[in-house]
Amino acid sequence: MRFLPALLLCAFLALATGKTAHGQPASSDKTEGGFSFSRIFDPRTSPFIPIPEIGTDPNSGTTFGLLPVFLSTNPEGHISRIIAPDIIYTPGLRYGGHFRMFSYPSDDRQWHVVVGAKQRIERELDVTYAAGLTRQSPLSLSGSVIYDRSATERFFGFGNHSPLGDETNYTNEQEYVDAVFGWNLDPHLQIGYDLRPRVIQIERGTFGHLPSIEARFPQLSGLGDEHELLNRLFIAYDTRDSAAIPTRGGEIVGFVGHADRDLLSSVTYSFFGLDARRFIPLGERFILAGHAALRYMPGDTAPFWAQSSLGGDRSVIGDRQLLRGFGSDRFIDRNSFSASIELRSHVFDLDLFSTRVTLELAPFIDTGRVFHNLNDNPVSHLHTVEGLGVRALASPFIVGYVDIGYGSEGTAVFSGIDYAF
């Protein structure tokens, strides 16, 4: 989802139109009578902010579009609702659009709905609700209903050095329900259970300049139609001051997962691992943020889409890990190690739509590898990415980002919402 870097663009737009950090115009430029086209683009007068939408990453290429963003705030000045439809164009997939609504009723509860489609192939639906986020009650829960049909997936073969020349493409269609139940022993310690029934179909690729996955890897496990009932167990110790925009503390999570042909799945696999993150304030304007994750998968029966992977801009506990100089799932094998560090630097604040927006710059380093055997050294032959993150924060819930990373295969640019870890 690319829309919330709009917050960042709004911040620059506010500066360009003369809005100060206290929310007052630096000079008067009112138009007397009649319609002023510039009023539509001024955060002080427009009912919405029309944002030019430009996004790119190594898998999906470049997307162009227009995105009007409507923001609502509560009496405390926090964003309580975002409505952000868009119209976009992606070469190869043609025109498309989305409707998005994000709601933040309280610190403890939030929900969102995203619906989208393109002229060719791609469709998506994401309905998510979460409650008990502050862990002050005995139970927390979240639930998602997802349908996703994506044409931009890539597979390069297995291993830490899978060659760029073996790149293939495929269409991934999946539907699933994800239900997570958390038992809060106290606000810091939680035991969680995740149940995810999923149907997944791997189809022919649609980009003619690349071979389709089944043509180059005809014996690959996981092609065609599969289904699974995945069970995961998490134990988490969390001392962060915020799950959305942490400034201090840390979190460590141990996890195990299993799907079995004898338990309503067409595939069998297991995995286990650790995920840790730490946030250290350095004075008033800097936060040193670190993250590390290990994921192990014993046995050789897992389909390719369930194995450990590195690439892209998102770290998911117990699942794929980021490497912001490469496209999503660039490197795949049974096991993975990932580590990241970034210096989140507070640059300036300004008032925008009755809320305080913070601009943040964050130079970062990502590193990691995938490996096949359980006894392989996880910290040898690491891929490394250096980059810079540009973020707009609307506390207490929202982070819009543009992360630019450079790795051995060139530069990648990602945008979206929430921190990468």
Q: What is the pLDDT of residues 114-138, one digit of tens each?
A: 999 999 999 999 999 999 999 999 9
Q: Give the chain's mean pLDDT.
A: 89
Distances (CA, A) of 2 to 7, 292, 314, 399, 403: 11, 25, 13, 12, 12
Q: Mean pLDDT across the stretch 284-294?
A: 97
**DSSP-based three-state secondary structure for 365:** strand
For residue 24, name the pLDDT band (cuts at 50, 70, 90). very low
Q: What is the pLDDT of residue 42?
A: 60
DSSP H/E element including 215: helix 213-216
The answer to whether 274 and 294 are in contact (CB under 8 A) is: yes
Q: What is the pLDDT of residue 20?
A: 42
Q: Mean pLDDT across the stretch 138-146?
A: 98
Question: Does residue 357 have a pLDDT over 70?
Answer: yes
What per-residue string of b and e applies to 231-247 under the rule 16 or more CB within 10 Å gives b?
bbebebebebebebbbe
For residue 361, name the pLDDT band (cuts at 50, 70, 90). very high
Q: What is the pLDDT of residues 36-87, one digit of tens each?
A: 556 655 655 555 677 777 777 788 888 889 888 888 888 887 888 999 899 9
Distances (CA, A) of 51 to 5, 42, 83, 269, 405: 9, 11, 13, 44, 24
The answer to whether 392 and 69 are in contact (CB under 8 A) is: no
Closest CA to 6 of 62, 111, 83: 83
Which CATH number is 398's domain given?
2.40.160.50
| 284, two tokens | 């008033």
The answer to whether 76 and 67 are in contact (CB under 8 A) is: no
Pairing label, strands 269-282, 286-296? antiparallel
For residue 354, name the pLDDT band (cuts at 50, 70, 90). low
Q: What is the pLDDT of residue 351?
A: 77
Question: Does residue 96 have a pLDDT over 90?
Answer: yes
Residue type, 249: G
Round to the nearest angstrom and report the end-to-end CA distance of the chain.
16
Q: How many CB atoms lie within 10 A of CB 408?
A: 10
For residue 395, name the pLDDT band (cuts at 50, 70, 90). confident
Q: What is the pLDDT of residue 13?
A: 45
Question: Does residue 6 have a pLDDT over 50?
Answer: no
Question: Does residue 28 have a pLDDT over 80?
Answer: no
Q: Mean pLDDT across the stretch 149-171?
A: 97
Query: By mean pLDDT, which of 125-129, 206-210, 323-327 is the weakest?
Result: 206-210
Q: What is the pLDDT of residue 71?
A: 82
Total domains present in the chain: 1
Distances (CA, A) of 127 to 48, 69, 99, 176: 24, 19, 12, 11
Q: What is the pLDDT of residue 72?
A: 85
Q: Mean pLDDT across the stretch 200-213?
A: 94
Q: Mean pLDDT across the stretch 189-214?
A: 96
Expressed as residue numbers, the domain containing 296 is 5-28+35-417
Q: What is the pLDDT of residues 231-287, one digit of tens each?
A: 999 999 999 999 999 999 999 999 999 999 999 999 999 999 999 999 999 999 999
Question: Does residue 403 have a pLDDT over 60?
Answer: yes
The answer to whether 241 and 278 are in contact (CB under 8 A) is: no
DSSP H/E element including 12: helix 5-16
Q: What is the pLDDT of residues 165-200, one digit of tens each?
A: 999 999 999 999 999 999 999 999 999 999 999 999
Q: What is the pLDDT of residue 30?
A: 47
Q: What is the pLDDT of residue 21?
A: 45
